[in-house]
Structure 1
Amino acid sequence: MKIRQVGTSGLQVSRMGLGTLPWGRDISRHRARELLTAFCAAGGNLVDTAAAYGAGDAEVIIGELLDDVVPREELVIATKAGFRIDRGRRVVDTSRRGLLRDLEGSLDRLGTDYVDLWQVHAWGTAPLEETLDTLDHAVRSGMARYVGICNFVGWQTAQAATWQRAVPGRAHVTSTQIEYSLLARRAEIEILPAARAFSLGCFPWSPLGRGVLSGKYRTGTPRDSRGASDNFAWFVQPYLESRPRSIVEAVARAAEGLDLTPAQVALLWVRDAPSVTAPLLGARTVQQLEECLAVEGKALPDEIARALDDVSGGPLASRPPATPRSGGDGS
C-alpha cells in the first residue's frame, strides 16, 4: 500500500487506516486478529483507536496483538483522549487531568510506552490553552510522538493550530480527524480549508457513509448490519433517508460501469479527494476489509469523480481543474 506524509510532519502512514470502534464490543478478539493480519499483509500500518472504544477494550485487544501479528515499531498507533461514556452519558473532559488519565490508561492497555499519534477526541469546555499544553507535555515526556485533533469545526481547528504555532517549541497540531464521505461533505466548508491552510493531515472516519454507501441497505436493513444493531442503529438511520438513497444509487450505477463495487467507488472518491491523508476503514469482517483493500492501484476516472461531486453536493472546489481534451483537429 502506498504511503502518505501526514501534513508537513515527519509522520508517514499507509493511505488507508484501520478503525477499531467496534472492537471488543461487536468484534471479537479472534475477528480483530484476522482484520489486523489482513490489513498489515496488504501493507497497511495505521491503526486508529480511542480510550473510549469499548470502554478501553479495543486498546486491550491491540495490545494483545502487538508483536504477535505485527512488530510494534512497524505499526502507527493513533489513539484519542478526552471523551468517555459514563453510565450511558457522553462526557467530554479535555482538562489536563482528564487527558492524562486517558493517555496513561491507553499506554497501559496497549502495552507500549508511547503512541505515534495522540488526538483530542472532541472540543471540550476546559480552557484550550490547558488542553494544548497537555499535548505539549505528552510529546515532551515521550508518551506521544505527534498530536492531533478530532471532530473540531473550522474555527476550532484554526484556533488550535494557530496557538501551537505561536510560540517556538510547542507541539504542532499534525492532523485532524473528521467524518467525510459522499454522504457527509460538510467538512469542505471550513474544516478542510483550515487543514490546508495549516498543512494538517486529514483522516476521514466513516468514508463509506456509515456503511450505507456499500449499497447493503438499498433493499432493506440486513440483520447482521450496523443498522440492525442495538449499538449503532441510531448512527446509520440518518443516512437511510431519500436524499442519501439517491446518492447511493448514483454510486451503484458508477460501480456497474467500472466493474467495481459501490463500496470501492465510494472509498476511492474519499481516498483521492484533495487534502485527504488516509480514510479509516471500519470493516466488521475480513471480506469487507479485503474488498476495500482491493482498491490499491485503482483510481476513479476524473469524469466519474466529478459526476459524483455534482450528485452529492456540488463541485469540489479544491479539486484540480479538469484537463481540457484536445479536439480531433489538434485544437
Structure 2
Amino acid sequence: MEQRHLGRTGLRVSRLGLGTLTWGRDTGEREAADQLKTFWDAGGTLVDTADVYADGAAEYLLGRLLENLVPRQDLVIATKAGSVPDPDRRFDASRRHLLSALDASLERLGTDHVDLWQVHAFDPTTPLEETLQALDIAVSSGRARYAGVSNFSGWQLAKAATWQLACPGRTPVASTQMEYSLLQRGVEREVLPAALDLRIGLLPSSPLGRGVLTGKYRHGIPTRSRGASDHLAPFVAPYLDETASAIVDAVATAAEGLGVSPLQVALAWVRDRPGVAAPILGARDAHQLGQALSVEGLRLPVEINNALDDISAPVHRYPDHDWSTL
C-alpha cells in the first residue's frame, strides 16, 4: 500500500487506516485479529483507536494483538483522549485529564509510546494553551511521537496550529481527524482550507458515509448492518434521506460504468482529495475490510470525479462566495 507523509511531518502512514470503534463491543478478539492481519498483509500501517472506544476495551484488545499477532514496530498506532463518559461534561481537555488518560492508554495498549496522540474534541471550558501544553509534555516525555486533534472547527484548528508554530520547541499539530465523505463535505468550508494552508494531514473518519455509500441501504436496511443495530441506527439514520439517496445512486452508476463496487468509488474519491492523508476504515469483518482495501489500484477518471463533485457539492454562500464583483 502506498505510504504518505502525515502533514508537514516526517511520519509516513499507509493511505488507508484501520479504525477500531467497534472493537471490544461488536467486534470480538478473533474477528479483530482477522481484520488486523488482513490490513497488515495489505501493507497497512495506521491503526486508529481511542480511550473511550468500548470504555477502553478497544485499546486493550489492540494491545493483545500487538503482543501476539503483529509486531509493534510495523504499525503506526494512533489514539485519542479528551472524551469523558460524564453526562455533565462531554469533553475534558485539561492537562490533568489528558496526561492521565494517555498513561492509561499506554497501559492498555501494552506499549511505552503511541505514534500519534490526538485530542478527541475541543473543550471550551479549558484554555487552549493548557490543552496544547499537554501535547508538548506527551511528546517531550517520549510517550507520544506526534500529536494531532480531532473534531476541531476551522478556527479552532487554525488557532491551535498557529499557537504551536509561534515558538520553537512546541509540538506542531500533525493531523486533524474529521468526518469526510461524499455525504458529508462540511470540512471543505473552513477545516480543510486551514489544514491545507498549515500543512496538517486530514484523517477522514466515516469515509463511506457511515456505510451508506456502499449502496447496501438502497432497498432497505439489511438485518446485519449498522442501520439495524439498536445503538448504531441513530448514527446511520441522518444519511438515509433523499439528498443522500441521489448521491448514492450516482456512486452506483459510476461503479457500474467502471466495473467496480460503489464502496471502491466512494473510497477512492475521498482518499485522493487534496489534503487527505488517510481515510480511517471501520469494517464489520475481515471480508468487508478486504473489499475496501482492494481500492488500492483504483484512480477515478477525471470526468467521474468531477461528476461526483457536482452532485454532492455542499451549498457554501457568504462568506465563501466571491463578493468582489458586487
- TM-score (structure 1 length as normaliser): 0.93
Name the structure 1 match of 2:321.
none
Q: Is structure 2 residue 258 aligned with structure 1 residue 258?
A: yes
The Cα shift of 1:315 comes to 10
**Is the partner of 2:32 in helix, strand or coil?**
helix
User: Over residues 70-96 of structure 1, what are the superposed CA-to-partner deviations in whole Å (9 max), with x where a residue is unaligned?
Assistant: 11111100000000223x676200001
Name the structure 2 match of 1:13.
13
1:103-118 mapped onto 2 (5 Å cutoff): 103-118=102-117
Name the structure 2 match of 1:121.
120
Structure 1: how far apart are the matches of 2:176 and 2:69?
Answer: 28
- AA at the equivalent of 1:94: A
**Shift in alpha-carbon separation, 1:89–1:52, aligned structure 2, 3 A:** farther
User: Over residues 39-96 of structure 1, what are the superposed CA-to-partner deviations in whole Å (9 max), with x where a residue is unaligned?
Assistant: 000000000000010000000000000042211111100000000223x676200001
Name the structure 2 match of 1:155.
155
**Which range moved further: 41-50 or 96-105?**
96-105
Name the structure 2 match of 1:286.
286
Structure 2: how far apart are the matches of 1:209 and 1:89?
Answer: 30
The Cα shift of 1:285 comes to 1.1
1:1-331 mapped onto 2 (5 Å cutoff): 1-86=1-86, 91-124=90-123, 125-313=125-313
- AA at the equivalent of 1:31: E
- Confirm or deny: 8 A CA contact 1:93 1:126 kept in the other structure: yes
Structure 2: how far apart are the matches of 1:188 and 1:68?
Answer: 41
- TM-score (structure 2 length as normaliser): 0.95
Name the structure 2 match of 1:326.
none
- Confirm or deny: 8 A CA contact 2:7 2:199 kept in the other structure: yes
- AA at the equivalent of 2:284: R
The Cα shift of 1:148 comes to 0.1
Work out the percentage of aligned pairs sharing the same amino acid: 60
- AA at the equivalent of 1:305: N
- AA at the equivalent of 2:90: V
- Confirm or deny: 8 A CA contact 2:185 2:314 kept in the other structure: no
The Cα shift of 1:231 comes to 1.5
User: Over residues 272-329 of structure 1, what are the superposed CA-to-partner deviations in whole Å (9 max), with x where a residue is unaligned?
Assistant: 111100000011111110111111121111110110000001699xxxxxxxxxxxxx
Gaps in structure 2 of 5+ consecutive residues: 317-326
Count, aligned residues? 315
Structure 2: how far apart are the matches of 1:2 and 1:89?
Answer: 43
Structure 2: how far apart are the matches of 1:250 and 1:134?
Answer: 45
**Shift in alpha-carbon separation, 1:186–1:315, aligned structure 2, 3 A:** closer
- Confirm or deny: 8 A CA contact 1:51 1:84 kept in the other structure: no
**Is the partner of 1:295 in helix, strand or coil?**
helix
- AA at the equivalent of 2:258: L
Gaps in structure 1 of 5+ consecutive residues: 317-331
- Confirm or deny: 8 A CA contact 1:81 1:103 kept in the other structure: yes
**Which range moved further: 53-62 or 64-73?**
64-73
Structure 1: how far apart are the matches of 2:104 and 2:314?
Answer: 43
- AA at the equivalent of 2:95: R
Structure 1: how far apart are the matches of 2:293 and 2:181?
Answer: 17
